[in-house]
Amino acid sequence: MFVDERIYTLHAGQVPTFLKLYEEEGMACQVRILGKMVGYYYTDFGPLNQIVHMWGYESLDDRFERRKQLQASPDWQSYARKMRPLVVKVENKLLVPAPFFKVPD
């Protein structure tokens, strides 16, 4: 399994607003289309005002197709229009499993 890690740095003080908006309007669509949410977090110390979320994919093709479907979703586009003004910066990493790592059941 490959993991897509995304870090959204928000404007100061916007974490509660972002999380509420995501839970109410973005999460159902994203989970339905992307499938495997590995984790969803916010920072409490270190770099502040960050949302970190990770999604598991069987392959790079799987990731590409699911992300394409997400971007085409009217539900996602409606959510994204409200979410984007809260975000200062987006970072994205593809995490490749070490050869010895076995995904837990």
Q: Report pLDDT for 21.
A: 98
Task: Give the pLDDT confidence score for residue 72 in this predicted structure.
Answer: 98
User: Cβ neighbours of residue 21 under 8 Å, at least 6 residues apart?
Assistant: 79, 82, 83, 86
CB-CB contact of 43 with 52 (8 Å): yes
Domains and CATH numbers, the chain: 2-95 (3.30.70.100)
DSSP assignment letter at 12: T
pTM, two decimals, is: 0.90
**In the prediction, which pLDDT does 102 show?**
82
H helices of 1-105, where?
15-21, 27-34, 60-72, 74-83
d(CA 100, CA 30): 30
pLDDT for position 65: 98
pLDDT in tens, 31-90: 999 999 999 999 999 999 999 999 999 999 999 999 999 999 999 999 999 999 999 999
Residue 105 has pLDDT above 80, yes or no: no
